Structure 1
Amino acid sequence: MAEDRRGAPRRNAFTIGAVETGDGSRECLVWDSSETGALIEIDEPGLLPETVGVRVTAEAPLRQATVAWREGKRVGLTFG
């Protein structure tokens, strides 16, 4: 079994969130999130800078995040 390296348990979200960069805001699909990070899906993930602001729902506060990994349209984010 593969080791789970997440810092906190993830909660399934499957909601529409937003990623904010210096160029504006883009919608994303939030697959899951926790206190330490989130898994999102976004068009053209290669255009995201290494540090972004993210809202896991429309009402959620903006949190600073760092891109941990990219695979296809999915991006792993670490909050902090």
Structure 2
Amino acid sequence: MEEKRKHPRTEVNETAYVSSGGSVMSCTVRNVSAEGAAIDIENPAFVPARFRLVMANGSSVHECQVAWIQRNRIGLTFVETAPT
């Protein structure tokens, strides 16, 4: 299968949190690139269209938008935030 992504993804297995509006859900980051990631989460129905992905080890926080959902896996696009 031909790779169509601009940036290659790196396979990982790291705990992170989906954070939105005071709600936090645990997830597992399965792969990541400069532009997005894929996460596994117990119940994707409760994940909003936009949220903050917070890595459990404190290494990074990303503003995200859901690109696709397949079963318990969600593809994310990292969203640039305007400076305040």
Query: What is the TM-score of this pair, normalised by structure 1?
Result: 0.87
Q: Does 1:38 align with 2:37?
A: yes
**2:82 aligned partner:** none
Query: What is the TM-score of this pair, normalised by structure 2?
Result: 0.83
**1:24 aligned partner:** 23
Per the alignment, in what secondary structure is the counterpart of residue 24 of structure 2?
strand
Structure 2: which amino acid aligns with 1:62?
A: V
- Residues 24-63 of structure 1: CA distance to partner in whole angstroms, max 9, x if unpaired? 2111011010110001000110111110100244212211
Root mean square deviation, CA, Å: 1.4
Is contact 1:18–1:58 with CA below 8 Å preserved after alignment? no
Structure 2 residues without counterparts, runs of 5 or longer: 80-84
- Quote the sequence identity (%): 30
**2:47 aligned partner:** 48
Residue-pair matches, total = 79
Structure 1 residues without counterparts, runs of 5 or longer: none
Per the alignment, in what secondary structure is the counterpart of residue 58 of structure 1?
coil
